[in-house]
Amino acid sequence: MAEHLRILGVGDAKSRHFARWATRLAERGHEVHIASGRVNPREGELDGLHVHQFLDLDPLLRVPLVRRFRMAPALAGLARRLRPDVVHSHYLLPYGYWTARAGLEPLVVSPWGKDAIVDAWQASEAEERARVAIAPDRARAYVVNSQALEDAAVRLGADRTKFHRIFWHARIDGYSPDHADRGRWRALGWPDDAVVCLSLRNFRPYSNLDVVLRAFAKAREEVPELRLFSSAGGGWTRTEFDRLASELGLEPYMAVQDVPAAELPSVTASADLAVTLADVDSSPASLLETMASGVPLVVGLAPSMDEWIQQGEGGELVDRHDADAVAAGMVRLAREPELRRRYGERNLREVHARFGDPTGQLEQVYREVVGR
């Protein structure tokens, strides 16, 4: 078998995580093709990849009532033309479902998090489609990034002996405490003694950003030097977020910026603490990047989060819907610089000890799959 592989990934090319998976492999010399219904508009993120948009595969995919019947044949036709060494489907619904229906092989499957832990169980039809996407009779391997995600996939029918834990969705090599630059907070007009709390999540209902705002308001009553910086880059609850911030009188003490990827390491390392309260996730990249930046955390208890942060081990673990508990965690970290230092150093050690070489691990999985 040749050293380099021809790999076909089926997923959402608008996702930075999917693009990150693909570029990892392309940088190692593999020929990486991605099939997607959407394309990431951020310049340069798909460089070096072969992109196949669904609408270009079959003209009938432009017809809404016909699309559902033509997607699997269109993907099958693409695979016949490309003859990939391995196919990797990302996310169960709809991409994994379509890949499974197309019968593409040899197949590696990656549920991502919310798709397997929550979405698959919302309705009987969703569960049926998710079980097809898991492809228990054909998938040669599963790649996941948390125990919680593995357990959810097994409940859908996946074979536990085929799982590999790989943190392919994050790139912590660019993150370090050395990138801290407090000048960026002064540029916002914040005082030199500001204690900056970084909010990691985008504007979505399950991110519980309303709880973050209410907790921050309570925490500022005890620690007036607290400031909140949100690096949210998208989502559909921004209007509600801004309205609540205004109602609570928080606007002078916070900032929201869609931070370019190149600046995220500096923004993250410059924070004094970070908060994440998402209802569901699977070892989120933002969490691992924050740990690699040596930053302590206030974390809402949710699937997979306690695999990285435990109470007193790297952060404060709280009820993600309890604004009082979240505020107490913020206040404790804001008031105790030594505690922040200990938590941050622990997080830095922990994430580097467990992260490994995701690209090399992916390559090993693919070579095992192709060799069977």
The share of the chain scoring above pLDDT 70, in percent, equals: 98
pLDDT at residue 134 greater than cutoff 50: yes
**Section 97-117 average pLDDT:** 96
Edge-first strand listing for the sheet containing 31-36:
50-53, 31-36, 6-10, 86-90, 107-110, 141-144, 163-165
Q: Are residues 90 and 236 in the same domain?
A: no
Answer whether residue 344 is part of any domain. yes
Same structural domain, 118 and 13: yes
State the Cα–Cα distance between residues 100 and 112, nearest whole angstrom. Answer: 16
Task: Quote the mean pLDDT of the chain.
Answer: 94
Residue 1 pLDDT grade (very low, low, confident, very high; cuts 50, 70, 90): very low
Q: Among residues 98, 104, 90, which one has the least CA distance to residue 132?
A: 98
Verify that 215 and 323 share a domain, yes or no: yes
For position 176, what pLDDT does the model report?
98
Domain at 280, CATH number = 3.40.50.2000
In this structure, the answer to whether residues 268 and 202 fall within a common structural domain is yes
Collapse the DSSP code of 203 into the 3-class scheme (helix H, G, I; strand E, B; otherwise coil) and give the result: strand
User: Rg of the chain's alpha carbons, rounded to an integer?
Assistant: 21
Residue 67: the pLDDT is: 85
Q: Are residues 58 and 202 in the same domain?
A: no
Rounded to the nearest 10 degrees, what angle do helices 209-222 and 323-335 cross at? 50
pLDDT at 2: 52
Give the span between the Cα atoms of 117 and 150, in whole angstroms: 9
Count of the separate structural domains present in the chain: 2
Q: For residue range 78-101, what is the model confidence (pLDDT) as tens digits? A: 999 999 999 999 999 999 999 999
Residue 42 has pLDDT above 80, yes or no: no
- Residue 334 domain-assigned (yes or no): yes
Range of the domain at 151: 6-167+356-371
Residue 41 has pLDDT above 70, yes or no: no
- Whether residue 347 sits in one domain with residue 363: no
Q: 3-state SS string over 56-71?
A: HHCHHHHCHHHHHHHH
The per-residue pLDDT for range 209-260, each reduced to its tens digit, is 999 999 999 999 999 999 999 988 778 899 999 999 999 999 999 999 988 8
Share of the chain above pLDDT 90, in %: 86
140-159 pLDDT, tens per residue?
999 999 999 999 999 999 99
Please give the average per-residue pLDDT across 288-296, as a whole number: 98
154 and 207 share one domain = no
Angle 112-117-120 from CA coordinates, rounded to 5°: 95
CA angle 82, 86, 92 (to 5 degrees): 105
Instruction: Based on the fold, state whether residues 210 and 296 are members of the same structural domain.
Output: yes
The reported pTM is 0.92
Task: Specify whether 152 is located in the same domain as 196.
Answer: no
- Flag whether 68 is in a domain: yes
Which residue type, as a one-letter code, is found at position 288? L
CA angle 357, 360, 362 (to 5 degrees): 105
**Same-domain pairing of 151 and 176:** no
Give the tens place of pLDDT for each residue, 259-280: 888 899 999 999 999 999 999 8
**Looking at the domain assignment, is residue 216 inside a domain?**
yes
Q: Are residues 160 and 191 in the same domain?
A: no
Q: Could you give the CA distance from residue 68 to residue 72 in angstroms, rounded to a whole number?
A: 8
Residue 296 lies in a domain: yes
DSSP 98: H
Query: Both 283 and 363 in a single domain?
Result: no
Q: Is residue 1 part of a domain?
A: no
